[in-house]
Amino acid sequence: MKSLDNKILHLLSNNDVTFFIPPYQRNYAWDEEMCEILYSDIEKVAQNPGSQHFFGTVIYYAESTILGQPDKYILVDGQQRLTTTMLFLIAARDVIRDEKVKTWIDSRYLKNNNVTGDVEFKIKLKQVESDWNAYKKIILNSNLDDAETKSAVYKNYAFFRKKFEKLEQDKLTRLIEKGLKEFNIVTI
């Protein structure tokens, strides 16, 4: 076992990895209060140049994949933090008006663009089955049904989106570039 200091965005920027949340892990359970705390922490770091934030650990193991598919990392710990970070990034992508920045967020953090066909491997984070449809539709900009809009995945995406819609565009990009970029994690 080897632990590494890392940044959350660095971990998510690997375009040859799909993170899988195994079925034995709990469903996504962060609520609005947890998202508010995360948002506040990101804002504090963004407003204080040179500051950083320790975001916890991410523990995973690699599972073998077939040639042409990204590495498959099975999450043992950190799935709630990774999911919430992804929801933050999806909401930012959906609110930012600059098409270059939208595409950059989408291709760098949300999807493996070198994968063709199977959506399961194209999306960088595969949720547990009960959260998968809502999460997949949010990432792919598809319409959600009523039940999916009641999921914590959708509610927290909507929370971040509502926050971002009130911000000036440069402040929103600063939250990512100066805030979330400085969130440290330990990967094992």
Tokens 């440290």 sit at which residue?
184
Per residue in 92-143, pLDDT (tens digit) is 999 999 999 999 999 899 988 766 665 565 788 888 878 888 999 999 999 9
d(CA 91, CA 162): 9
What's the sign of the alpha-carbon dihedral 36, 41, 42, 48? positive
> How far is it, in rounded angstroms, from Cα 20 to Cα 170?
33
pTM of the full predicted structure? Answer: 0.92
- Mean of per-residue pLDDT scores for the chain: 89
SS3 16: coil
Cα(126)–Cα(69) distance, rounded to whole angstroms?
Answer: 14
